[in-house]
Structure 1
C-alpha cells in the first residue's frame, strides 16, 4: 500500500511538472522566433536605407526598435496571462508587419515624405495602437467563451458598423467606395474591418445554436446530401447582405469576404460539401449579376479581362494600376531588384493596395513565395487551434478568423496577379492603413486567447 501511494504521488508530481514545463517551452519557442523575426525586419530596414540612401541613418533604430519593443512587451504579457497560447502566431504577424513597414518606408524615401507626413511613421503609430489593442484583449478576455453570450449583440454591432459610412457627417466617399468614416475631419477608419470580426463571432454563435437543423438529412443527389429548401434561409440572407454591401457601398471585396467567411464556417459546422457548392454558385451568380448591373463592378471586370487594351488603360485610369503592378512583378523576376533598388513607386497606391507588387519587384518571386508561406502557416495554425478545441464555438470562431485572413490574401494576390478581378481589400499586416492593421492584430489576440483556452481544457481519458 505504501509503495502504491508513493507511486501515485510521484505520478502526480510528474504530471504537475509536465504542465509547468509545457507553457514555458511554448513561450521560449515564441521568444526565439520573435528574435528571428525582429532580426529579419531590422535587416530589411537596413537594406532599404543602403539601397535607396547608400547609408544607414538613425531612423533605422526608430522603425526597427519601435516594433521590437511593442512585440516583446506583448510576449511578456503572454508569459504572465496566456502561457499556453500558440507560439507561432505573434512572430508571423510581427514579421509581416515589419516587412510592410520596411516597404512603406522605402516608398516614402522615393517620394520624399518625412516626419508625420510619411506613411511609414503613421504605420508605426498604427502598429503601436494595434499591438496595445491586442494586448488589452489578451489581458481582459480571460475566457473567450464569454463572447458566445453576445452572439446577437455582435451581429447587430457588425451591421451597424457597416452602416456607419451612410451617416451624414461621418461617411467619406473615397475612390468611389463608401467604406470610410471620419471623426472631426481628422481621424479616419474603415468600420468594415472591425465588422468582419464581430460578424465572425455572430456566425460562430449562431451556427452552434442552429447547426443541428442545418445538418439535418436532405436529398441525396450527385454523390452529395443537399439541404432542404427551408434550410436555405440563413445562406440566402447572408448572400443578400453581401450583395447589399456591393450595391450600396460599392465594395466588392468586403461583400465577397463576409459571404465566403460564412460559407466556410457553415461547412465546418455541418460537414456538408453541398453548402460549399451552393455558396460558390451563389457567389459566382452574384458577381456576374453585379458586373452586368453595376458600372463599378463592370469596370473591374473590364480591367481584368482586357487589361492591356490601350483604350481601357487610358479610360479614367482604367487598368493602369494593374498593368504597372504586373510590369513591376516582371521586373523583379526570380530574386528581385533588391530592397531600395527597384521602382515600385511608379505603381499608384504602391504602399497600400499594391504593396505585394512592390515587395515582388524588390524581393522577387522567391520573396513573394516566402511571404505567402508565412500566410499559409498563419492560417494553418489558426485552423489547428480551432480543430484542437473541444467546444464548437471556439472551433468555429478560430476557423472563421483564420479563413478570413487566408481568403483576404487570396483575393488580393489574385487581383494583383490578374487571376481574378481586383477588389478594394487590403493585404493583411502589410498594407499601409490603421483600420486593417488593428483588425488583424485583434484577430491575432483572439487566436492567442482561443489557443490558450484550448490547451487548458481538461482532457477526458477513457480506460
Structure 2
C-alpha cells in the first residue's frame, strides 16, 4: 500500500510516531542536562567542566535506545522512553548534587549503571521479538524467581544492609536479586492466571453484595501471602513483601474481574500487617516511627532520617530553594532511600508533583498498552509491570511524606542503585515490546474510516490510502 494525499480519506494507515518520540527525547535530554548544569551553577558558580562530555554521553544513550526501537519495535509507545530518560537524567543530577556536598562519587557509578541498563534495554527489545514466547517459561520463571529470592539467605554471598537481608556480594559487586525476581514473577503470575482464570473466576458464597471466591480456589493467593510473609520474616524487607503481594492481587483481580479477590486479599494483608507488628520488632519500629516520628529522633534505629526529610521539604515550600541552596545532605542516604525528600527541598512541591506526574504517565501508558493488547498474556504482563511501578512510587512517596510507614524501596529511575535501575530499564523494554505488538497493524486487515480517534497519542492517523 502506498500513501498519497487526498481530501477524501477512506482508510487508515498506521503511523509509528517515532518522530514524536525523537522530539520528546530532545526535551528529556534538556531536562537531564539542564539539571546537571543548574547543580554546577548553584554550588560551584559555573557550569561543570565535563558538561559537554556528560551531555554527549546521555545523548548517545538516548539515541541508541531510540534507534533500537525504530529498527525493531517501530510501533511501540512513543511516550515511555522520553519520560524514563527525563526521570533518569533528573536523578543523576540530584545524586551529583549530593555528591558535591558529601564528597562521594555515586553519580558516576549511577551513570555506569544507566549505561548497562540501556544496553540490556536494547538487548531485550532486539532479541525478544514476540512477548508471547515468554508464556512458555511460566513455571521456569517462577523457579528462577524463588531461587533469586533465596540467594540473600545463603551464608557466604548473602549480605545484610541496614537491617534488610536482600543483597548478595559476588566478585566484589553488590546486587539485589529481588529486582530481577519481580520481573520473573510478573511472567509467572501472568502465565498461570491465563491458564486458570476461568476456574478462579467462579463465584462462591455471596457476602454483602460481593461474590467471594470458592474455598478450593484460595490456594494461589494463600501461597503468595505466605511467600510475602516469608520475605518479611527472613529478609526483613517490608517493601518487597508489599510489592509482590499487591502485584499478584491486582493481576488476580484483572484476570478474573471478581471483586471478591480484593476482599480476600485485603483481609490477608491486614492480617499479615497485624502479625508482623506483633511478632517482629523491626516492623513495630517502622509503625511507631510513622505514628510519632519526633519521639524517635535520637533512638537507634530512630526517625532522624524521616524528620530531616520533613524539615527539608517544609523549607522547600512550593517552588523549592534551588539547587545548591538547600541542605539535602543532612538526610541520611538521601541519594537512595530519600531522594524524593532532596527533590522536595530544592525543587519544592512543584518539582515533586512534576516527578509524580511523570511516573503517572508511565503507569498510564502501561495500562493503555494492556487495554489495547490482543492477547490475555500480554494484557496481564503489561498490567503487572505498570503495577510494579505504581506500587513502588506509592510506597516510596507515601513513606517520605508520612502517609504510610517507611518500607525501604527505591524510587524507580531516580534513586541510586544499580540493580534497581537495570531491572527497571528491562521493565520498560518489555512494556515497549508489548505495546509494539498491540499497536502494530494486523496484516491484511482493513479498518473502516472513523473507527478510531486520530489524536497524537494513537497509533493511527486518518489519511488516504491507495492499493497498488
Question: Is the TM value for this pair above 0.5?
Answer: yes
Q: Is the Cα–Cα contact under 8 Å of residues 197 and 255 in structure 2 kept in the other structure?
A: yes
Give the secondary structure class of the aligned counterpart of 2:334: coil
| Structure 2 match to 1:367 | 351
How many angstroms does 1:462 deviate by? 9.4
Shift of 1:54: 0.6
Distance across 2 between alignment mates of 1:57 and 1:328: 25
Shift of 1:231: 1.1
Q: 1:155 aligns with which of 142, 148, 167?
A: 142
Q: Give 1:352's aligned residue.
A: 336
Tell whether the 8 Å contact from 1:412 to 1:426 is kept in structure 2 after alignment.
Answer: yes
The 1-side partners of 2:351 and 2:216 are apart by: 48
TM-score using structure 1 length: 0.93
Which moves more between the two structures, 225-234 or 145-154?
Answer: 225-234
Is the CA contact (8 Å cut-off) linking 2:11 and 2:447 kept in structure 1?
no
Compute the RMSD of aligned alpha carbons.
Answer: 1.9
Q: Deviations over 1:418-438 (max 9, x none)?
A: 111101111000000100001
Matching of residue 289 in structure 1 with residue 275 in structure 2: yes
The corresponding residue for 1:261 is 247
Matched residues, number: 443
3-state SS of 2:368 partner: helix
| Correspondence 1:128 to 2:119 | no
CA–CA separation in structure 2 for the residues paired with 1:63 and 1:162: 36
1:79 matched residue in structure 2:
70
Mark the runs of 5 or more structure 1 residues left unpaired by the alignment. 1-9
Q: Does 1:100 align with 2:91?
A: yes
- Correspondence for 2:263: 277
Q: 1:462 to 1:337 in 2, by over 3 A?
A: closer
1:213 corresponds in structure 2 to 199
- Contact kept? 1:63, 1:124, Cα under 8 Å: no
Counterparts of 1:428 and 1:365 in 2: how far apart (Å)? 19
Which of 274-283 and 446-455 deviates more?
Answer: 274-283
Q: Of 152, 156, 176, which residue of structure 2 is paired with 1:169?
A: 156
1:229 corresponds to which residue?
215
In 2, the alpha carbon distance for the partners of 1:57 and 1:325 equals: 27
Q: Does 1:47 align with 2:63?
A: no
Does the CA contact (< 8 Å) of 2:12 and 2:447 recur in 1?
no
Per-residue deviation, 1:457: 5.7
Q: Per the alignment, do residues 62 and 302 of structure 1 end up closer, same or farther by CA in structure 2, a change over 3 Å counting? A: farther
Matched-pair contact (CA < 8 Å) for 1:67–1:127: no
Which residue number corresponds to residue 451 of structure 2?
none
**2:137 is equivalent to residue 142 of structure 1:** no
Write out the 4+ residue segments of structure 1 that deviate beyond 6 Å after TM superposition: 14-17, 459-463
Q: Which residue of 1 aligns with 2:454?
A: none
- CA positional deviation for 1:16: 9.7
Name the structure 1 match of 2:61. Answer: 70
Equivalent in the alignment of 2:437 = 453
Match for residue 368 of structure 2 among 380, 384, 407: 384
Any idea what the Cα deviations from partners look like across 1:304-334, whole Å, max 9, x if unmatched? 111111xx21111411111111111101100
Asked if 1:189 corresponds to 2:158, the answer is no
Please tell me whether residue 18 in structure 1 is matched to residue 30 in structure 2: no
5+ long unaligned stretches in structure 2 = 449-468
> What is the rounded CA distance, in whole Å, between the counterparts of 2:223 and 2:446 in structure 1?
42
The alpha-carbon deviation at position 363 of structure 1 amounts to 0.5
User: Higher relative contact order at CA 8 Å, sep ≥6: structure 1 or structure 2?
Assistant: 2
Contact 2:319 2:347 (8 Å CA) reproduced? yes
Asked if 2 retains the 8 angstrom alpha-carbon contact of 1:353 and 1:431, the reply is: yes
Q: Which sits farther off after the overlay, 122-131 or 297-306? A: 297-306
**Contact 1:66 1:124 survives alignment (8 Å):** no
Of the structure 1 ranges 93-102 and 316-325, higher mean CA displacement relative to structure 2 is found in: 316-325
> What residue is the counterpart of 1:315 in the other structure?
299
